[in-house]
Amino acid sequence: MKQETTAGPATEAAPNLIPDQGRKAVEEWLASNEFMMKSAFGMAQRMMDFTQSRLREDLDTMKTLAGCRKLEDVAACQRSFAEKATKQYAAQLNGMAKDMTTAFGDFFDHVRH
């Protein structure tokens, strides 16, 4: 026996399945996710730029090392490389920490309003 399907309250109200409060909550949640994704993308871009910069500098250092003729020159090149890299990594970490603090602060401001 074949059953007929008829439009009932569930199918007629499909566009309004989520009450206004629920719809607003979903919209805010989606906006918050978009906000956080943009922040995460910015941080990922910063990391990629830093990595690219470090790779270039590593290559330049390797070229300089290859041209060293004395042991003292090799030691000086390595010391300079280590000092510069350490400062750059520290600056990168500090910048990322500031970016994260700003992103979370902006996110919570966004959520509150």
Residue 4 lies in a domain: no
Q: If residue 108 lies in a helix (H) or strand (E), which one and from where to where?
A: helix 71-112
Residue 55 lies in a domain: yes
Query: How many Å apart are CA 20 and CA 11, to the nearest integer?
Result: 18
Number of structural domains, the chain?
A: 1
Residue 16 lies in a domain: no
Round the CA-based radius of gyration of the chain to a whole number and report it.
28
pTM of the prediction?
Answer: 0.62
User: Contact 35/111 with Cβ under 8 angstroms?
Assistant: no
Residue 69 lies in a domain: yes
The residue written with tokens 């009932």 in the block is 8
Provide the domain limits for residue 81: 21-112
Residue 7 lies in a domain: no
For the chain, the average pLDDT equals: 82
Tokens of 61: 């250092």
Residue 8 lies in a domain: no
Q: pLDDT tens-digit profile of 42-96?
A: 889 999 999 999 999 999 999 999 999 999 999 999 999 999 999 999 999 999 8
Residue 43 lies in a domain: yes
Tokens of 107: 């996110």
